[in-house]
Amino acid sequence: MNNIKVNINGKKIDLFIKKIVNNDIELFNIEYISNSEINIIIDKKDYYKIKKIKTIYKIKIVKKYGIDNLKDIIKYNKIIFLFLFICIIILIFLSNIIFSIKVVHNDEEIRDIIFKELNNNGIKIHGFKKNKKEINKIKDKILVEYKDKIEWLEIENIGTSYIVRLQTRIIPQIDDKKANRNVVAKKNAVIKKIEAIAGNVDKQRGEYVKKGDIIINGSIKLNESIKENIAADGIVFGEVWYTTTVSYPFIYQEDITTNEETTNIIYNFLNKEKILYGKKYKYKKNIETKKISSSFLPIYISIEKNKQLKKIDYILTCDQAINKATIKGKKKMESKLKDSEYIISTKILSTKCDINSAIVEIFYAVYENITDYQIIN
């Protein structure tokens, strides 16, 4: 309810009160100040009714209640509220800026590596703090990249500082001398290329080998007797065969990135978002996000760079789905190949279309590194 306190001044106040009641105006409270002055509390909507019947009486609003009172407080103190709001924004902003980074380790080279990696991943002095998910991602990335140097790593956020603690990996000294061994076939194949570095070549190009067959022998023989065992070395490439089954649906939806993009400034309070600036896309692809948040207030402001996505529905014929399945199978096979490896030839063995999808069985001949080793006991 929006109630107000009204001051009424004039002679014969009691008669005026009776007149108010007769006009169906509800009085919530009456406060007598003198014989000619009172304060009454009424609903805001009844104020104009009283003004119509006031005649000689002086009427003025002395106090408002509820939402109207709150609006007045904000109106008359807007400078203070604006100042407080700016202070909170500045406080939130400053609380999310990094002012100190400390790497706890004695080795200067390791410290330099960590500082460089942190900087490359956006953790730097006067930069924005990262959330826990981003910190863990950066930590895992550094551990993978420097797995031979770093055993474990911890990035701790304390206020506006980051403290990095780590333990370097101790690698035991290993004898560089290789064990005596043969170079053998890793899988069944037809030999395409042999690059022998040490040992006797027992097989030739174009020869079929089974998994485990010796290709470069580490046993040096003289007159059928083994004179010496060495560490055979070399690389062998062969033609290897695979058969795979791939399916592709007739009806599917695909996300297409358009050229349209926007930068959104988003205000979030108690998990309720409001876009302060920018466009709202129905479907979007996030390119970059920077977040200003507080550890003690349920508020954050994020700056997002987004590209518009369009969802396209496709309905394929059986032949189109077979063609898509063939392309999908080739990409999947190529993703498993290493450098210098490639698909020699492809053959579709069978095709079938059921109610929902096309199913294709494909044969691949692949040029692949088949080098493996077998210790000579």
> What is the reported pLDDT for 114?
86
Distance from chain centroid for Cα 158 = 23
SS3 content of the chain, % helix, strand, coil (to 5): 25, 50, 25
Angle between helices 132-145 and 108-120 (to 10 degrees): 130
pLDDT along the chain (377 residues), means of 10: 81 82 83 84 82 81 74 72 74 76 84 86 82 86 84 83 82 63 93 91 92 90 80 92 94 87 80 78 84 64 86 90 93 90 94 92 95 89
Residue ranges and CATH numbers for the domains of the chain are 3-73 (3.30.70.260), 100-168 (3.10.20), 181-234 (no CATH), 251-315 (no CATH)
What pLDDT is stored for residue 327 in this prediction? Answer: 94
Look at residue 119 in the predicted model and tell me its pLDDT: 86
pTM (2 decimals)?
0.48
Please report the pLDDT score of residue 247 as a whole number.
94
Q: What is the pLDDT of residue 296?
A: 56
User: DSSP code of 44?
Assistant: G
Which tokens is 97 given?
Answer: 């800026």
CB 65 within 8 A of CB 128: no
